[in-house]
């Protein structure tokens, strides 16, 4: 599961400096900013619905991502820790499964 923006709420928006000439009251500002932030949250959810590659931070992380397969991190904190798990490429099975190799297993009777 990837992070997503579920609920956005802007309240008590105050206009402190106005060089554009906005003539909106507090309720109109709340509604305007709620609309902008809701649209931004929807864009975020659409852009990152399949996650975000850590290699965007540093290309070397792509190599590490190739070695560490199926990396997951919990979204919950338990006893002050977040759980992280991964599989390494070396952990993957290398032998061909008998049912796909064309050989038939024969058992003694």
Give me the DSSP letters along the chain.
-----------S------SS-----HHHHHHHHHHHHHHHHHHHHHHTTT---GGGT-THHHHHHHHEEEEEE-SS-BTTB--EEEEEGGGS--SPPGGGTT-------
10-residue block means of pLDDT along the chain (109 residues)? Answer: 80 86 84 92 87 76 73 75 75 63 64
List the chain domain ranges: 1-52, 54-92
pLDDT at position 63, please?
A: 75
pLDDT at position 40, please?
A: 93
């Amino acid at each position: 599961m990837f992070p997503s923006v579920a609920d956005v709420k802007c309240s008590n928006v105050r206009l402190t400096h106005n060089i554009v000439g906005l003539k909106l009251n507090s309720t109109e500002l709340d509604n305007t900013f709620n609309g902008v932030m809701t649209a931004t949250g929807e864009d975020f959810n659409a852009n990152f619905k399949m996650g975000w590659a850590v290699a965007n931070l540093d290309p070397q992380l792509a190599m590490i991502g190739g070695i560490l397969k199926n990396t997951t991190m919990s979204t919950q904190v338990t006893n002050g820790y977040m759980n992280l798990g991964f599989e390494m490429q070396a952990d993957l099975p290398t032998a061909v499964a008998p049912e796909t190799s064309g050989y038939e297993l024969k058992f003694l009777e």
